[in-house]
Amino acid sequence: MDVGQLHFLVADGDPVQRQSLAAMLVRLGVGSISEAASGHAALRSFDGAIAPAPAAIDLGLIDLALPGMDGLELIRHLARAKCRAGIIIVGAQGRDVLFSAESIARAHGVDVLGAIATPVAQQSLAALIALHLARQEGLAEVAARTARPELTFEEIGQGLQAGQFEPFFQPMIELETGHVKVLETFARWHHPQHGMLDPVDFMAPLRQRGRVDFLDWSMIEASVAGCRALHDQDIPISISINLAPHTLVQASFITQMRACLAQHRIRPDYITFELPESAVLSTDLLFLERLLRLRMQGFGLAIDDYGTGCTNLQALARIPFSELKIDRSFVDGASKSPALATVLRGCLGLARSLDRRSVAVGVETEADWDFLQGMGCTYAQGYYIAKPMALLDFPAWLKDWRQFF
Ligand code: C2E
Ligand code: CA
């Protein structure tokens, strides 16, 4: 789809602003534009996007201060009706109000592209339209992927036993020096019929059966072996491994881990385990004791997806973590959104004040990479730097990276 095929709805009570927005959309090459002067009229116009029809709205520009039914109420109705159109919120209110409106709309499950303060800058609008088009392309890809058959727990087990799983590695860059210090490992499955599969294809059945540990042990073994292979090539890099909490609480975890490290001659301080924020929130003292014991043995411990849970400071301070991995949703686009930048700065400040390392996850653009420089973040990771890759591809990638830096 290109911009000329888009059907826009401009919902704004102010006729002058409505016309100016419509004119801006024409300049941007939008093919079809409808207008609504009130919340109720806008809701009727969205009907096409609710029950698919030829005139379905693709994108709605919604002014928060719509007369009759205001923008927030309209968005709530759209969410309830499972409207699939993309939404751009506009308003004369301050950035804090716009950010809250955007967050609430997202929480309702509406496809929000962003919020823009009025007077709307053409550049900001163009960027959100480009984002919508990129997402549509992504969705088409996902739709093509979902044509695959569902894989059962038994099939996944057979794949693991047949050695069809392989860790892929994504570099984490130390921002101060530009050096590649750590590789995070992600499971990939070379399926004989379906090709390369990602965790989204096999995690759910493992989680449902409470057996993510099957995968975790296979990835631990292969990642530590990979770490040794790199050390032997004079690349003394660390490895960060995603773990399900139940793998870590197994009674034999530390003994098995030590045996694996001894076999490959890797010291524990080269290994970090990543646990989701929701898991480390546990108030179970025995669990905290296990985490502490890992740190006492020299392993690193990272809180993954930080910011998606509601860890309070007191709970966070007593978790013996060494790294805070800030969730992608606060990093991607932080250079363009003052509100995201504020949240990101807050997370980085928190890590610094607790004297822990921080990782900005999901750096996808040069703008976000530049933005992170000088912010006191320890590592950056994301598609802008590199996508996860096979171990064999890493030394050549590293050579290129070192030439660049
Ligand atoms: P995660 O640890 O939060 O991993 C980040 C996910 O985002 C990875 O997807 C990674 O490939 C992707 N990613 C990295 N950089 C970017 C970026 O710049 N933009 C975007 N859009 N995505 C980026 P992947 O490999 O599909 O992994 C998904 C999740 O599956 C991981 O989330 C992790 O929780 C889980 N996982 C993967 N491998 C393992 C494993 O061996 N054991 C366990 N327990 N979990 C695993
Ligand atoms: Ca992770």
Q: What average pLDDT does the structure give for the chain? A: 91
- Asked whether 219 lines ligand 1 (CB < 6 A), one says yes
Average pLDDT over residues 358-377: 96
d(CA 33, CA 29): 11
The atom number, within ligand 1, closest to the CA of 388 reads 11
Greater pLDDT, 55 or 33: 33
Structure token digits, residue 281: 């929130």
Q: Is 383 in the pocket of ligand 1 (CB under 6 A)?
A: yes
Distance from C-alpha of 57 to C-alpha of 25, rounded to nearest angstrom: 14
Tokens of 325: 């991995």
- Tell me the pLDDT tens digit for each residue of 79-120: 999 898 999 999 998 888 998 899 899 888 899 999 999 999
Backbone angles phi, psi at 297, to 5 degrees: -80, -10
Pick the closest to residue 379 from 357, 362, 396, 395 (CA basis).
Answer: 357
Sheet bearing 59-63, strands edge to edge: 32-36, 7-11, 59-63, 86-91, 111-117
Q: Maximum distance among all alpha carbons in the chain?
A: 73
Percent of the chain with pLDDT over 70: 96
User: 138 falls in which pLDDT band (50, 70, 90)?
Assistant: confident
131-135, 216-220, 311-315, 387-391: segment of lowest average pLDDT: 311-315
Is the CB of residue 244 below 6 angstroms from any atom belonging to ligand 1? yes
**Out of 116-130, 132-146, 186-200, 208-222, least confident range:** 132-146
| Torsion angle of the four alpha carbons 274, 276, 281, 282, in this order, in degrees rounded to the nearest 10 | -80
CA-to-CA distance for 291 and 283, rounded, in angstroms? 12
Query: Six-digit token pair at 137?
Result: 């392309």
Please tell me the predicted confidence (pLDDT) of residue 145.
61
Report DSSP state, residue 148.
Answer: S
Separation CA 259–CA 379 (nearest Å): 29
* Whole-number pLDDT of residue 147: 64
Contact 290, 319 (CB under 8 A): no
Global pTM reads: 0.74
User: pLDDT value at position 56?
Assistant: 84
Nearest to 42 by CA among 23, 26, 64, 25: 64
**Among candidates 25, 20, 23, 19, which has minimal Cα distance to 6?**
25
Residue labelled with tokens 């300049």:
27
DSSP for 46-71, written as a single string: THHHHTT-TT--SEEEEETT-SSS-H
Amino acid in position 166 = E
Residues 6+ away with beta carbon under 8 Å from 189? 156, 159, 164, 165, 166, 196, 197, 201, 202
To which residue do tokens 């090459």 refer?
A: 29
Q: Which residue has better confidence, 200 or 264?
A: 264
By the 8 A CB rule, do 275 and 243 touch? yes
The pLDDT confidence band at residue 258, using thresholds 50, 70 and 90, is: very high
| 277 Cβ closer than 6 Å to some ligand 1 atom | no
In contact, 79 and 109? CB cutoff 8 Å: yes
pLDDT at position 46 is 85
Peptide bond into 119 cis (omega under 30): yes
pLDDT at 139 over 80: no
pLDDT one-digit tens code per residue, 221-255? 999 999 999 999 999 999 999 999 999 989 899 99
Helix and strand numbers (H, E) in the chain are 18, 14
3-state secondary structure of 87: strand
The token pair at 106 is 């997202």
Of 210, 321, 343, nearest to 275 by C-alpha is 321
Q: Which of 9-18, 142-151, 201-210, 360-369 has the lowest mean pLDDT?
A: 142-151
C-beta 186 within 6 A of ligand 1: yes
Residue 37 DSSP label: S
* CA–centroid distance for 205 within its chain: 22
Distance between Cα 379 and ligand 2 center (Å) = 13
* Residue ranges per structural domain of the chain: 3-145, 153-402
Ligand 1 center from residue 204 Cα (angstroms): 14
Q: Read off the pLDDT of residues 369-385 as tens digits, 9 standing for 90 and up.
A: 999 998 999 999 999 99
CA 270/CA 224 separation, integer angstroms: 9
Q: State mean pLDDT over 310-320.
A: 79
246 CA to centre of ligand 1 in angstroms: 18
Measured from the Cα of 247, ligand 1's closest atom is 44
The answer to whether residues 89 and 112 touch, using CB atoms and an 8 Å cutoff, is: yes
DSSP state of 149: P
State if residue 212 touches ligand 1 by the CB under 6 angstroms criterion. yes
The pLDDT assigned to 143 comes to: 67
Q: How far is the CA of 82 from the centre of ligand 1 (A)?
A: 28
pLDDT in tens, 268-309: 999 999 999 888 877 788 888 999 999 999 999 999 999 877
CA of 169 from ligand 2 middle (Å) equals: 11
Q: What is the pLDDT of residue 69?
A: 93
Amino acid identity of residue 303, one-letter, is I
Q: What is the pLDDT of residue 116?
A: 93
**302 Cβ below 6 A of ligand 1:** no
Q: Contact 178/125 with Cβ under 8 angstroms?
A: no
Return the pLDDT at 54: 45
Same-fold call for 3-145 versus 153-402: no
- Band of residue 52 on the pLDDT scale cut at 50, 70, 90: very low
Give the fold, CATH level 3, of 153-402: TIM Barrel (3.20.20)
Look at phi and psi of residue 245 and say left if phi exceeds 0, alpha if psi is from -120 to 50, else beta: alpha
Q: For residue 201, what pLDDT band results from cuts at 50, 70 and 90?
A: very high
Tell me how far apart the alpha carbons of residues 387 and 364 are, in angstroms, rounded to a whole number. 10
CATH superfamily, domain 3-145, is Response regulator (3.40.50.2300)
